[in-house]
Chain A
Amino acid sequence: MSSLLVTIAGVILVTIFGIIAGLFLMGVDRICAARMQMRQGPPLIQPFIDIRKLLCKDSQVPANAIPALFNAAPIVAFASAVTVLFYLPLGSILPVGTPLPMVGEYGDLILIMYLLTVPALAMVAGGFASGSPYASVGAQREMVTMIAYEFPLAIAIIAIAWRLAVAGLVMPFSVNTLAANPIWTVVGPIGIIGCILLLIVLAWVTPAELSRIPCDTPEAETELCGGLLVEYSGRNLALFSLSMAAKLVAMAGLAVVLFLPWNISPIIGISGIGAAGVDLAFFLLKVIVVMFFSVTLVRVVMARFRINTVVSLYWGWLTTIGLIGMFLIILDGSMSLGGCLS
C-alpha cells in the first residue's frame, strides 16, 4: 500500500518536474537563440504563458479528421514523453530500483529508447488523422526522420552498454549502472576517442529527435505551415507542446546519463535531501549545457535540411561516425580483456 502511494506521489512529482523543467528549458533556449540573433527574446516564462493560453482555448477538430485518433495522439505523446523521465536518474534521485522503488524494479536504456519513439509515433498518427495534406506530408517526413536517426542512436547506446559489460558490470543497460560508472572512467585512451565520436552522434540525434532546425522538416513552418501540428489547436496543441518540453528534458537527460553522469554532492559533502536538491540543480545545469550545444547553437547557425539530406546525413555520415566510435570502443574493450587475461 505504501509503495503504491510512493509510486503515485513520485509519478506526480516527476511529471510536474518534467513540465516545469521542460518549459524552463524552452524559455532558456529561446532567450539564448534570440541573443545570438541580436534580438531581445521573450521573457523566460513565455512558454508557461503560451501553455496557459493554449489550455484556455478550444480544440478544433477538422471536418475530415478521425476524431478519436486525432484527440488521442496528444495524450499518448504527452504520457510517453513524461514516462521517459520516470526511468532517468534526475541528479542523484534514481527512480528505478533502490532505495525507494518508484516505478518498480525494471526499466533500462532499451525501454527509454522505445519510449522516446512513442511521442513521435503519436505525432505521426495524429498527423495522418488530421486529414490535411500538409499534416500528411509532415507525418511521412517524421517517419522517415525517425527511421534515419534511430540507428545512430542505437549504436551509441549499445556501444556504451557493451563496454560496461566488458568491464565486468552486471546489468550494463541499467541507468543506475551508467550513473554509478561514468563511461570515461571505464575506457582507455582509444575508448575515449570512441566515446567522443559517440557523443557527437548523440548531439546530432538530439535536434532530429526534437524536430528542431536543421531537422524540423516534419514541421517546416515555411513549407508545411507546421506540418504535423497544422490542424492542432487549443488543449491538444498544449499537450503536444508539453510533450515536446518533456522530450527536451528526456533527450538532454539521456545525454547527461550516458556521458556526464557525475553528481556534485559527494564533492561538496552534503547528504540527504540537501544532496538530492543540489544534484537536481546540477543536473539541470548539465541539461542546459547539453541543450545549448546540441539544440540552440545548431538551430541558430543552420538552415533547414531537405528530407533526403536528413536521411543521407543520418544514415551516411552519422552512422559511419557511430560505427567508427563503436569499433574503437570494441577495440578498447578487447584490449582491456586481453590485458586481464594475460
Chain B
Amino acid sequence: MSQKKAPYELPIGPIHPALKEPINFTFKMNGEVVEEVDFAPGRAHRGIEWMGMRRNPVQILHLCDRICGICGVAHALVFAQAVEQIAGVEVPDRAYYVRTIIAEFERIQSHLLWAGVAAHELGFDTLFYLAWQIREESVDVIEYITGNRVNYAIMMIGGTRRDITPDMFPRIEQALQYYEGLFEKMVNLFLNDKTIAMRCRNTGILTKRRALELATVGPTARASGLAMDVRTDSPYAAYGDLDFDIILPEVYSNETVGDVYDRIVVRIFEVKQSIDIIRQCLRQMPDGPVLAEEKYPKLLMNLKKASGEAFARVEAPRGEDMHFVRMNGKQEAPEMWKVKASTYSNQMAWIEILQGEQIADIPVIIASIDPCMSCTDRVAVVNQKGEADVLTKEYLHRLSVEKTRRMQG
C-alpha cells in the first residue's frame, strides 16, 4: 500500500461476490475513486450457436431455453418468431396471448430477482430476502402454466406447447392480486427508503444523450429517458392488441436523472405494467388452438424445406433480444443462427457509468444494467497457447481487407 496518489489496480472478477456470472473487470483506482474501467467478457461462452447449427429448429428451441436461466421465454420466443417468418407458419391468435402471458410473468420474476440482487449489492439483505420471497409466487405460477420453474419449454414453432385454459384463470388472477396488494409495499420499501435513496440517487448516471449514443436498450435506456420498448415500437405476439405505455422514470419522480435509482423505478413499475398486461390478455384471449401444426414430423418436414433469412426481436426483461436465422432449404439445421441479447448492447454503458464512482458503488452499478453474461457471451477469443486474447479493430480490418482481396483475386 503506497500513497493515495498512486493509482492502483483493483480486479473484480472473474469470480467475485458482486458478480452473479463470470466477467472480469479491472479498475484503475485512486483511493476509493474509480479512474479507469476495463472489462473482459467471454467467460460464459458455451458454443450454443455452434450446437444450434447442428440441430433442427425444434431442438434449438429447447436450447434457447437454456441460453439464460432467467429469460428463457424471450430467447425461445424470438427464435420461434424468426423461424415462423422464414417458413411462413401461421400462428393461431390464442397462442400469441399465451406467449404474451408467459413472457410477462417472466418479466415479473426477472425484475423481482434483479431487485433482490440490487438490494444485496447494497448490503441490504432483508430486502433481498423479501424480494426473492415475493418472486416465488411468479415462479410458482410459471410452474403451474408450463410445468417448469426455470427452463419453461412452452414455446413451439407455430404456437405454444400448452394452452392456458379458463379453469387456470383463478390461480393466475390470485397471483396478480398478490402482486397488486404488494405493489405499494414494494414502492415504499425500495423507493422511499433513506439508505437506498442515499446510495442510488446520482449514482452511475447515464445521460439521455449518452444512452442513445451507446445504443442501450430496455430498462437501462428507459431509465435514462429514452422512450423505447420493442413491445410498442414493433409489436409482436399479442402486444399490438393491448393497451399500455412505455414506463419512464417520470411515473414516479418528476425528473429523469438516469441513475441507479431511476433504473429501480423503471423496473418496479414495469412489474405493475406486466400485471395490467396479463389481465388484459386474460380478458381478450380468443378461442381456438394454440399450435399451428400438431404433428412434429410434418412440422420438421416443412421447416426443412423452408429457405430464407429472418431477423426477429422481442423485449426481454433486460431489453431488446434479437435473433438472426438463415435456412437454406437443404438441411434441417439452420445455416446461420445469431443471438444478440440485451446485455450486449448495454455493457458498453459500464465504462461510462462506473467512471468517477466509489468502490462502494461498483457492485450496484454493475448490477444496475441487469447484466446477463450467459446471454451475451457468444464468442471467446483464445490464442494458440490457449490463453485469452483480444482481437483489435486494426487486426479485424486487416483480415477483412485480405478477404476482399482474395475474393477479387
Contacts and interface: CB of A to CB of B under 8 A. Distances in A.
Interface of A: 36-39, 128, 133-134, 136-137, 139-140, 213-214, 216-217, 220-225, 300-309
B123 A213 contact: yes
A29 to B, nearest CB: 13
Contact of B10 (A38, A137, A213, A222): A137
Contacts, number: 78
A304 B121 CA distance: 9
Nearest to A225: B17
B123 A214 contact: yes
A217 B199 CA distance: 13
B353 interface: no
16 contacts: A37-B129, A37-B130, A38-B129, A39-B129, A133-B8, A133-B11, A220-B123, A222-B17, A223-B18, A223-B359, A303-B123, A303-B124, A303-B127, A303-B195, A303-B196, A308-B358
B1 A37 contact: no
Interface of A is mostly: helix
Given A133-B11, A223-B359, A307 B18 contact: no
Interface stretch (B220-228, B234-242, B334-342, B360-368): B360-368
B133 interface: yes
B122 interface: yes
A303 B199 contact: yes
Given A133-B11, A225-B16, A306 B126 contact: no
Contacts of B195: 214, 302-303, 305
Interface string B106-149: 00000000000001111111110110010000000000000000
Interface residues of B, number: 33
Given A136-B1, A224-B359, 13 more contacts: A36-B126, A37-B125, A38-B133, A133-B8, A139-B1, A214-B195, A220-B360, A223-B18, A223-B362, A302-B195, A303-B193, A303-B199, A304-B124
Interface of B: 1, 8-11, 16-18, 31-32, 119-127, 129-130, 133, 193, 195-196, 198-199, 358-363
A217 B124 contact: no
A304 B122 CA distance: 6
A126 to B, nearest CB: 13
A38 B130 contact: yes
A307 B33 CA distance: 11
A198 to B, nearest CB: 24
A79 B218 CA distance: 55
Contacts of A309: 198
Nearest to B363: A222
A140 B33 CA distance: 13
A306 B358 contact: yes
Could you say which of B10, B126, B133 has the most chain A C-beta atoms within 10 Å of its C-beta?
Answer: B126
Contacts of B193: 303
Contacts of B359: 137, 223-224
